[in-house]
Amino acid sequence: MIYCQRRRSKVQVDLIVRADDVEEEKVAGRPAAVIDVLRATTTITTALEAGCRAIVPALEPEEARRRATAWSAADSRQPLLGGERKTRPIPGFDLGNSPPSYTQERVGGRVIFFTTTNGTRALRACQTARTTVCACLRNARAVAHYLAANMGAQPVLVCSGREGTVAPEDVAVAGLIASYLRRLTQAVLSPQAEEAAALASSIDDWYRFFSVTPAGTALQEAGYDADIRFCALKDVSSLVPRYLRGMVLRSRCARALGLQAPAPS
């Protein structure tokens, strides 16, 4: 796990409950954690654990295809296309948004151009943050330790939401991270973060909680109950994906890998 010394400074942890509510002044210069637990940030974390070189978030499938084609011209290892729309895999893409499908055999050593209905939009909205990481239930404690070690400014937890509405599962995971941060740093929680922490503390079965949310119900109807179970495992990962220079990496520095994402156009 990622550990840090216990800090005593009183900083406030803020919460944004939907990607649509992200404004530049709310995230600029601050450490941010983006949460789309069902399923984008869980998939990103899983892919990087499986040895994926980098994930490049795109807003739309057409952008992902275009940027993957540009990448192919400079890299002998062909990139992959991954993502979903309305829960389903995108026609012509190599992968959907099912975290267990991102195995070492499938994604090891590859760059993935990735687009989802909610999660990648939230990530791109946080481009002015001082540092942005991807959080899910599987790495919640690790993310809290990472944020605690970078508490020079007030952290903000950004829930992706679901098609413009609040996603209870994202809020609950944000509340768990906020609770961990309070224990690690004695941080003060904003009223919304406090409510989210109370919600998280009321959950004794994360799978059951996820299953009855609108996103969980949609996944079950589409035959992805196994994905919900995968996403509902708490604190089993120590990896903290970092969004840096247009791509998500497990490294602290994109340049250390000799990678640079092609700019959106």
> String of b and e for 156-193 (b: at least 16 CB within 10 Å)?
bbbbbbbeeeebbbbbbbbbbbbbbbbebbebebbebb
Segments forming the whole domain that contains residue 210: 12-250
Q: What is the pTM of this model?
A: 0.91
| pLDDT tens sequence across 54-83 | 999 999 999 999 999 999 888 778 999 999
Does any domain span residue 115?
yes
Does any domain span residue 109?
yes
In this structure, of 33-37, 187-191, 254-258, the range with the lowest mean pLDDT score is 254-258
Does any domain span residue 67?
yes
Does any domain span residue 87?
yes
Work out the widest C-alpha separation in the chain, in whole angstroms: 51
How many structural domains compose the chain? 1
Residue 127 tokens, joined: 């481009």
* Distance between CA atoms of residues 8 and 187, nearest Å: 8
* Distance between CA atoms of residues 37 and 187, nearest Å: 24
The amino acid that residue 121 corresponds to is R
* Distance between CA atoms of residues 65 and 75, nearest Å: 15
CATH of residue 53: 3.90.1560.10
Does any domain span residue 4?
no
Q: What pLDDT was estimated at residue 111? A: 97
Does any domain span residue 95?
yes
In this structure, of 33-42, 142-151, 203-212, 236-245, the range with the lowest mean pLDDT score is 142-151
Does any domain span residue 262?
no
Does any domain span residue 126?
yes
